[in-house]
Amino acid sequence: MALRVALVGGPMYDGLYSMLPASTEVVVRADHPTLNRSVAAALEAGERLDVISTHSKYAPSQARWLTPLDPALASEQAPRAVELCSFRGSLLCVPRNVDVRVLWVRRERATEPPRTWAELLASTAVFGFTGRESGAFGTFFEYVAAHGGDVFDGDLHPTLDTPLGREAVEALCTLARRAPGPLAEWHYDEVDAALARGDLDISATWPGGYEALRASAAYPHLEAHTYLAGPAGLRSYSGCHGWAIPRTCGDVRGAQELVEQLSSFDAHARDAASGTVCSHVAAFAAVHPVDATDARRLDVIRTTIAEGMITYPPLAHFPAIEDAAWTSISAALRGELRPDEATARMQASAEAASPGD
């Protein structure tokens, strides 16, 4: 029986899929927001899916459809990654990688790279970042957290319409006005492409985009630095991609074997070769830099994982909150809303989207 799988797609993910058995039926392969919508519709309808790509921040919203996994499947994974992929005492997905930001700087354009948000805003540097979907909300989250705030209170209620929240949106709007093209429409791959073309002085990127960047004409001009800090220190919006088995699985043993294969040393080593931070401890320890720039990049990643990772609390309604937030941020980046209007709309929409977790 062919396994039916749903996969996150894109340059930073696709290289691993050559490991899939030839008989595998790929039901969907798309960016994560599209994947989430497709998976939700399929599972809500009771459609058979055997293995799906998910993410530590999205798995809690899918918990009612997912089979709790044997922790032994993640026994060789980094403990922090396993923790992020667990919800209410159950392992919902086996970690694939750990995502943290890397700040890439054009040496000749930023001889003294900014270390903080304040230094970046005081400069004239053209800074690239994702202007839509999870990346937009994540960048807002980073700014707020780096300045000592949070986007949820102790009772897990959204706290988006605050003076610091308005300051964060205003800062992102200031940076967006310097950027070439429609930054408000940029997703991860568009930011990577702009950096590779030489359109940006500085960019916040994810490790998985490194392989394409290394092959670009811009690479010899780039240097990796730790991400932007604030008064509260270095803060990088982080999380883990992972593999989950839905309750509608038609071949549990086959699905478990596939997840075990995709969680093996060889699979993680293949992911790591493209630049991702695989969560398999031994596989990541075996990564060797390809050059001095890569060695610096890996040092930056390890420092950020150790000192700067921030994550959202596990919330069953998180995708709806994220959608409510990023659409208003993107509207502000396009000049359609003032920062205070954006945060007021974010707060109202987020409250409506989160009846309680």
Condensed to tens digits (0 to 9), the pLDDT of residues 312-341 reads: 999 888 988 999 899 999 999 999 999 999
Closest CA to 129 of 108, 154, 149, 103: 103
Q: Are 313 and 346 in contact (CB under 8 A)?
A: no
Contact 131, 186 (CB under 8 A): yes
pTM: 0.93
Beta strand ranges found along 126-231 (DSSP E): 127-128, 202-205, 222-225, 229-230
d(CA 261, CA 257): 6
- The Cα 181–Cα 24 span in angstroms is 39
List the structure tokens of 18.
């050559």
pLDDT recorded at residue 167: 98
pLDDT in tens, 290-301: 999 999 999 999
Average pLDDT, the chain: 93
User: Mean per-residue pLDDT for 238-262?
Assistant: 96
Asked if residue 108 lies in contact with residue 200, where contact means CB atoms within 8 angstroms, the answer is no
User: Using CA atoms, how far apart are residues 51 and 66, in angstroms rounded to an integer?
Assistant: 10
150: its two tokens: 């949070």
Q: Sign of the CA dihedral 70, 73, 74, 76?
A: positive
Query: Per-residue pLDDT tens for 83-107?
Result: 999 999 999 999 999 999 999 999 9
Specify the CATH number of the domain 102-237+311-353: 3.40.190.10
pLDDT for res 187: 86
The span from the CA of 110 to the CA of 124, in Å, is: 10
Examine the pLDDT at 10 and tell me if it is beyond 90.
no
- Angle of helix 32-44 relative to helix 133-146, nearest 10 degrees, comes to 110
3-state DSSP of 290-354: CCHHHHHHHHHHHHHHHHCEECCCCCCCHHHHHHHHHHHHHHHHCCCCCHHHHHHHHHHHHHHHC
Establish whether domains 4-98+239-285 and 102-237+311-353 are of one fold.
yes
Mean pLDDT on 177-202:
91
Domain spans of the chain? 4-98+239-285, 102-237+311-353
Q: How confident is the model at residue 4 (pLDDT cuts 50, 70, 90)?
A: very high
Task: Say if strands 233-234 and 229-230 run parallel, antiparallel, or are unpaired.
Answer: antiparallel
Topology (CATH) of 4-98+239-285: D-Maltodextrin-Binding Protein; domain 2 (3.40.190)
pLDDT band at 144 (very low <50, low <70, confident <90, very high): very high
Q: What is the pLDDT of residue 356?
A: 56
